[in-house]
Amino acid sequence: MGNPVRYAMLRPGDAVLDVGSGGGIDTILAARRVGSEGKAVGLDVLEEMCERGRRHAAEAGVQGWTEFLRGEMEDIPLPDRSVDVVVSNGVLNLSARKSRALAEIFRVLGPGGRICLADLTVEGELPPEVANDQSAWAG
């Protein structure tokens, strides 16, 4: 997909949320950039992926400042204004409630917070058989 961590201008000490972290690649890349004085949190809807991310973080030596939470992007289990940067790589397009997911992202961002997304977009109109097919949302 993309590489939002590359463009997120992460700084040592930043608190970063990776929405839709999967196995944790972007979370680990973010953890390396923010260092042990920062925090990188991966969020995924599947506990299996959170466990995989924890394993990968331990293997990468960043588990001390990396956390993986199970939850939905439309209901992020973090307090208001608790992160400096939100990154996401190809996940927002999977939400049927994109405005709710974006509202949650803005809720957890602190003052001066930043967002860096890599995702799919559509230019023009989709044929109705695609636009109205729920399986096409993930396809």
pLDDT at position 1, please?
60
- Rounded distance, CA 108 to CA 105, Å? 6
Q: At what angle do helices 47-60 and 25-34 cross, to 10 degrees?
A: 40
Query: pLDDT tens per residue, the chain (139 residues)?
Result: 678 999 999 999 999 999 999 999 999 999 999 999 999 999 999 999 999 999 999 999 999 999 999 999 999 999 999 999 999 998 888 888 999 999 999 999 999 999 999 877 777 887 888 777 777 655 5
**What are the boundaries of each domain within the chain?**
4-137
Please give the CATH superfamily to which domain 4-137 belongs.
Vaccinia Virus protein VP39 (3.40.50.150)
Diameter of the chain by CA atoms? 50
Whole-structure pTM value: 0.87
CB neighbour list of residue 33: distance below 8 Å, 6 or more residues apart: 5, 10, 11, 12, 14
pLDDT at position 85, please?
98
